[in-house]
Chains A and B, each alone.
Chain A
Amino acid sequence: MSDNNLVVQMKGIAKVYPNGVAANQGVDFNVMRGEIHALMGENGAGKSTLMKMLFGLEQPTEGEIIINGEKVSLSSPTVAISKGIGMVHQHFMLVPSLTVAENMVLGMEPKQGNKLFINYKKAVEITEEYSKKYNLFVDPHAKVRDIPVGMKQKVEILKALVRGAKILILDEPTAVLTTQETEELFKELIHLKEQGYTLIFISHKLNEIKQITDRLTIMRGGKSMGVHETANISKEEISRLMVGRDVVLTVEKEKAEPTDVVLSVRNLEYTNEWNKKMLDKMSFDVRKGEILGIAGVEGNGQRELVEMLFNLNVPDNGLAKVNGKNILGRPQREIRDMGVSLIPEDRMTFGIAGAGTIEENLMSDRASEKKYNNGLLFNLKAMHEDSDELIKDYKVLCKSRRQPVGMLSGGNIQKVVVAREFSSEPVLIIADQPTRGIDVGATEFIRKKLVELSREGAAVLLVSADLNEVMELSDSLIIMYNGKIAAYFEDTSVLNDTIMGEYMLGLKQQDAEEIRGVLHGE
């Protein structure tokens, strides 16, 4: 293969973040002109970091980047843009209070004759022109905060094109889209490819990759696992490279013997600030001794559901009770005192206080307990003993309990969170994406613990976008779609990817009778 065909060459890239996390190690990454190239890997595999470096948002600690045969130093997005690189971020890089046209021209504003004022009419014209040329329909006058997600994404793509991007990085573009929107997007992407654009497509959805990409690079644990022709590699092989063969995916677990209802949710409804109905009459029960999984494409109300159950948000309507006592709108202290634990999805925001020590983080829910206080002062001895024990039991890799928790790796941070949440003798554990973005070892450990606790009698509500996880761990399972329960499976052993996919993408929907199976109480 001649180097002339390579538009992007990244050689021996390493990245160490200021907090000490080594996100990339010796990565080689090549993209050919005019191809759709998939960059695959689990969360935390280092794909985002790699792409941030290609777009100038981060600088590599080691290695070199060659664009169109020219060695470049991408010190900022401006430089990357000038080299013809554009990026469509997963979290849209749009300014909500500005209009679509304003967002389009931000940084390259057309001026009036006097060079002083913005020529807004021209901005609208440019938007319309590109919109037409690439078949990406947007409303130039609408404020970005008022338009639907699909359109926001189109604005993002147009933004890159209008800036002369020839190489387009798309960071999990389908994560936020409906099936129909995804199909539409794919048509648009293929259209772009036909016009000579090069696309880098970050995803971990096998079907999508198979459908539209030419080649793929797989990343795992910050390293590249090689590049392959999409046509010549099987899904199983991709899966093996992504996940790694040494991981035993099946967690040994005895059959659940659920007893009393612990958490009972009835008709929970929530409309978010953009007037989108995120939860629509959700009703379900979780029983003592079982793991109830909640699967679904992200953004279908899972996050909101968890927020309601821990009073991080207030529902419009509905009931949620733990052992017969209401938990909606109650202070977190009270919810915790009822025996509810939460592994939060966003562990850096809710799970830990990064600058605090490991010990301080382990004690955050219990520092006021009698056990840890002698009158006015802390009983430091008890705290130290219990912290050391938790660090040992949960295999937190650290130098001492005095180390700031923010300096640990993602997996170890999550172990600190889990150690705290699992050790409070919970009757109900809500685990929201408990192993997202963490290493295989920590993942396995946390999953085993979760099963162990449920078999010891805790009720577990497991929310996960990781299909493997939710299928392996759950005793029974709900699939959420559009704020509703699309399906309920009493027994997860009958499930496979295909069935799950159909419900998750809204192609199928169980009838009310089948779904009612999840209600075990009155």
Chain B
Amino acid sequence: MENKHYNMFEIFRGFIAIAIAIFVAFILILICADDPGKALECLLIKPIISNGALNTKSIFTILARMTPIIFTGLAVCVMFSANQFNLGGEGAVMLGGFVAALLGIYIPMASGVHILVAVLAGTIMGGLIMIIPAVIKVKLKASEMVCSLMMNYVIMYIILHFLNNVFADRSKGATQTYPFLNTAIIPKIIPTSELSWGFAIAILATVIVAYFMYRTRWGYSIRMIGINESFSKYSGMKVGSIIVLSQVIGGMLSGMGGAIEILGRENAFKWLDLPGYGWTGITVAILAKNNPIMIPFAALFISYLNRGCELMSIYAGVPAEMIDIIQAVIFLFFAAEHFLSGTRQKIVVKDAKEELHKKELATSGEGGNA
């Protein structure tokens, strides 16, 4: 089966890309770490095993950090599937987090309901804001990419304005809001760790998005539009509406990610800059090849590396920002269609030849019945 050949080949390619990235990391570590052996240990092993035992605390941290990037990864996955290069995830995350935070601080509600309402509000705001680039794209054919990029900054500055001038808790040294009401804080799965039930919601969201993309007419339309917009239009799909829908869903997922991150990991709104999860979400989606089910695995990988880089910076003096270099390298190779394409062409030619051969056998066998 030729499909099997391709799939195996794709997996092989992915591994090579990751291997190259890790190799680059090794070289960088060799150059700048005082004790490269220790640095490598921090990067690869320490995130899960320290002093010969499972490092549960660190493992929970890794899982906790997966949460927001699963959401943004899913968001990118939906938008990129529709071929919409909306890069507004950053802004939507921050906005979702901010709105959820305000509700968590100022509107007392029953426990249980409070979290639900706050997260939903963040989700909805994230979705609403994405209507702007989406509608501009559909109605005016202006680039959703440029528009969403600009929007990130507008959102950030508006939030900073409100944070500094309206909602700031002046009793604190750093700029932040008043603390969330207890009813609004998402409980931890493991009490002493960073890991909240938000993680479970992220996994649930993954399943829902996977179902949405592959088992519903809307997800189907999104994918078809992404593959071939003209075809979708000709087939009778409402292309404009679906394009808007894909970006709104992307915004909702990002907004939800922001809300859950804020209420699950922090006790007050403290973001003074775009949080970066939107960009990481793109890396995650690329690693997952836009397949929702693969998003948590990709997020785990990035989160693990992230933790490793952090430990490396604490114990081996290698700046944690190395993660960005590793990410960039993986990203570039993973998305490179012609990376190792010579090998792929050989597979194609071989398959085509086999097929021709089979066909010839078949026709000669039929004795010209056709």
Q: Which residues of A contact B (CB under 8 A)?
A: 16, 18-22, 25, 61, 246, 310, 312, 331-333, 335-337, 342, 344, 349-356, 360, 363-365, 367-368, 372-373, 376-378, 380, 399, 402-403, 407, 441
Asked if B217 and A350 make an inter-chain contact with CB atoms under 8 angstroms apart, the answer reads no
Chain B 215-227 interface 0/1 with A at a Cβ cutoff of 8 Å (1 = within): 1110011011001
Write out the residue numbers on chain B whose beta carbons fall within 8 Å of the beta carbon of A310. Answer: 234
Task: Answer yes or no: B3 CB below 8 A from chain A CBs.
Answer: yes
Q: Which residues 215-261 of B sit at the A interface, judged by CB distance below 8 A?
A: 215-217, 220-221, 223-224, 227-228, 230-238
Task: Answer yes or no: B353 CB below 8 A from chain A CBs.
Answer: yes
Listed A/B pairs (29) with beta-carbon separation below 8 Å: A20-B2, A25-B356, A310-B234, A312-B234, A331-B238, A332-B233, A332-B234, A333-B238, A335-B236, A336-B236, A350-B231, A352-B231, A353-B227, A353-B228, A353-B231, A354-B227, A355-B227, A356-B227, A364-B231, A364-B237, A367-B220, A368-B217, A376-B216, A378-B215, A378-B217, A399-B1, A399-B2, A403-B3, A407-B2
Task: Answer yes or no: B111 CB below 8 A from chain A CBs.
Answer: no
A394–B1 CA distance with the chains assembled, in angstroms: 22
Whole-angstrom distance from the CB of B1 to the nearest CB of chain A?
A: 6
Task: Answer yes or no: B355 CB below 8 A from chain A CBs.
Answer: yes
A356–B236 CA distance with the chains assembled, in angstroms: 17
Say whether, besides A360-B224, A441-B370, A21 and B234 are in contact (CB < 8 Å). no
Whole-angstrom distance from the CB of A318 to the nearest CB of chain B?
A: 21
Asked if A350 and B216 make an inter-chain contact with CB atoms under 8 angstroms apart, the answer reads no
Task: Answer yes or no: B56 CB below 8 A from chain A CBs.
Answer: no
* A-B contacts, CB under 8 A, total: 93
Task: Answer yes or no: B324 CB below 8 A from chain A CBs.
Answer: no
A246–B368 CA distance with the chains assembled, in angstroms: 10
Whole-angstrom distance from the CB of B140 to the nearest CB of chain A?
A: 18
6 closest cross-chain pairs (CB), A and B: A364-B235, A353-B227, A333-B236, A353-B228, A20-B352, A332-B236
Write out the residue numbers on chain A whose beta carbons fall within 8 Å of the beta carbon of B345. Answer: 18
Write out the residue numbers on chain A whose beta carbons fall within 8 Å of the beta carbon of B349. Answer: 16, 61
- A364 (CB) vs chain B CBs: closest residue: B235
Q: Which residues of B contact A (CB under 8 A)?
A: 1-3, 211, 215-217, 220-221, 223-224, 227-228, 230-238, 344-345, 348-349, 351-353, 355-356, 368, 370
Whole-angstrom distance from the CB of A181 to the nearest CB of chain B?
A: 31
A430–B245 CA distance with the chains assembled, in angstroms: 31
Tell me which of B215, B224, B237, B352 contacts A380 (CB under 8 A): B215
Whole-angstrom distance from the CB of B264 to the nearest CB of chain A?
A: 28
A22-B352, A363-B220, A367-B220 are known contacts; what are 5 more A-B pairs with Cβ within 8 Å?
A350-B230, A350-B231, A360-B220, A364-B231, A380-B215
Asked if B216 and A377 make an inter-chain contact with CB atoms under 8 angstroms apart, the answer reads yes
Asked if A349 and B230 make an inter-chain contact with CB atoms under 8 angstroms apart, the answer reads yes
A378–B223 CA distance with the chains assembled, in angstroms: 15
Which of B234, B238, B353 counts the most A-chain CB atoms under 10 A from its CB?
A: B234
Asked if A349 and B3 make an inter-chain contact with CB atoms under 8 angstroms apart, the answer reads no
Main secondary structure of the interface of A (DSSP, over half): loop
Say whether, besides A333-B236, A354-B227, A16 and B220 are in contact (CB < 8 Å). no
Whole-angstrom distance from the CB of B353 to the nearest CB of chain A?
A: 7
Write out the residue numbers on chain B whose beta carbons fall within 8 Å of the beta carbon of A399. Answer: 1-3
Say whether, besides A342-B234, A364-B237, A377 and B215 are in contact (CB < 8 Å). yes
A310–B3 CA distance with the chains assembled, in angstroms: 35
Write out the residue numbers on chain A whose beta carbons fall within 8 Å of the beta carbon of B235. Answer: 332, 364-365
A110–B351 CA distance with the chains assembled, in angstroms: 48
A367–B344 CA distance with the chains assembled, in angstroms: 33
Which of B223, B231, B238, B349 counts the most A-chain CB atoms under 10 A from its CB?
A: B231
A352–B211 CA distance with the chains assembled, in angstroms: 23
- B370 (CB) vs chain A CBs: closest residue: A441
Write out the residue numbers on chain B whose beta carbons fall within 8 Å of the beta carbon of A25. Answer: 356
Asked if A18 and B3 make an inter-chain contact with CB atoms under 8 angstroms apart, the answer reads no
A175–B235 CA distance with the chains assembled, in angstroms: 30
Asked if A352 and B2 make an inter-chain contact with CB atoms under 8 angstroms apart, the answer reads no
- A335 (CB) vs chain B CBs: closest residue: B236
Write out the residue numbers on chain A whose beta carbons fall within 8 Å of the beta carbon of B220. Answer: 360, 363, 367, 378
Asked if A20 and B351 make an inter-chain contact with CB atoms under 8 angstroms apart, the answer reads yes
Write out the residue numbers on chain B whose beta carbons fall within 8 Å of the beta carbon of A377. Answer: 211, 215-216
Whole-angstrom distance from the CB of A349 to the nearest CB of chain B?
A: 5
Asked if A349 and B217 make an inter-chain contact with CB atoms under 8 angstroms apart, the answer reads no
Whole-angstrom distance from the CB of B328 to the nearest CB of chain A?
A: 26
A61–B348 CA distance with the chains assembled, in angstroms: 12
Asked if A367 and B215 make an inter-chain contact with CB atoms under 8 angstroms apart, the answer reads no
A19–B228 CA distance with the chains assembled, in angstroms: 17
Tell me which of A344, A356, A367, A372 contacts B234 (CB under 8 A): A344
A349–B368 CA distance with the chains assembled, in angstroms: 34
Asked if A356 and B352 make an inter-chain contact with CB atoms under 8 angstroms apart, the answer reads no
Which of A25, A312, A350, A403 counts the most B-chain CB atoms under 10 A from its CB?
A: A350
Write out the residue numbers on chain B whose beta carbons fall within 8 Å of the beta carbon of A368. Answer: 217
- A440 (CB) vs chain B CBs: closest residue: B370
Asked if A351 and B353 make an inter-chain contact with CB atoms under 8 angstroms apart, the answer reads no
Write out the residue numbers on chain A whose beta carbons fall within 8 Å of the beta carbon of B215. Answer: 377-378, 380
Write out the residue numbers on chain A whose beta carbons fall within 8 Å of the beta carbon of B211. Answer: 377
Tell me which of A16, A246, A360, A376 contacts B352 (CB under 8 A): A16
Whole-angstrom distance from the CB of A378 to the nearest CB of chain B?
A: 5
Say whether, besides A356-B223, A360-B224, A364-B224, A378 and B231 are in contact (CB < 8 Å). no
Write out the residue numbers on chain A whose beta carbons fall within 8 Å of the beta carbon of B217. Answer: 367-368, 372-373, 378
A365–B236 CA distance with the chains assembled, in angstroms: 6
Write out the residue numbers on chain B whose beta carbons fall within 8 Å of the beta carbon of A333. Answer: 236-238
Write out the residue numbers on chain B whose beta carbons fall within 8 Å of the beta carbon of A352. Answer: 228, 231
Tell me which of A367, A376, A407 contacts B221 (CB under 8 A): A367
A351–B1 CA distance with the chains assembled, in angstroms: 25
- B351 (CB) vs chain A CBs: closest residue: A20
Whole-angstrom distance from the CB of A40 to the nearest CB of chain B?
A: 24
A343–B233 CA distance with the chains assembled, in angstroms: 14
A441–B369 CA distance with the chains assembled, in angstroms: 11
Which of B236, B238, B351 counts the most A-chain CB atoms under 10 A from its CB?
A: B236
Whole-angstrom distance from the CB of A376 to the nearest CB of chain B?
A: 6
Asked if B228 and A354 make an inter-chain contact with CB atoms under 8 angstroms apart, the answer reads yes
Write out the residue numbers on chain B whose beta carbons fall within 8 Å of the beta carbon of A355. Answer: 227
Write out the residue numbers on chain A whose beta carbons fall within 8 Å of the beta carbon of B228. Answer: 349, 352-354, 356
Whole-angstrom distance from the CB of A45 to the nearest CB of chain B?
A: 16
A365–B235 CA distance with the chains assembled, in angstroms: 5
Asked if A20 and B227 make an inter-chain contact with CB atoms under 8 angstroms apart, the answer reads no
Asked if B216 and A378 make an inter-chain contact with CB atoms under 8 angstroms apart, the answer reads yes
A331–B220 CA distance with the chains assembled, in angstroms: 19
A349–B345 CA distance with the chains assembled, in angstroms: 24
Write out the residue numbers on chain B whose beta carbons fall within 8 Å of the beta carbon of A336. Answer: 236
Whole-angstrom distance from the CB of A124 to the nearest CB of chain B?
A: 37
Tell me which of A364, A372, A376, A441 contacts B232 (CB under 8 A): A364
- B344 (CB) vs chain A CBs: closest residue: A18
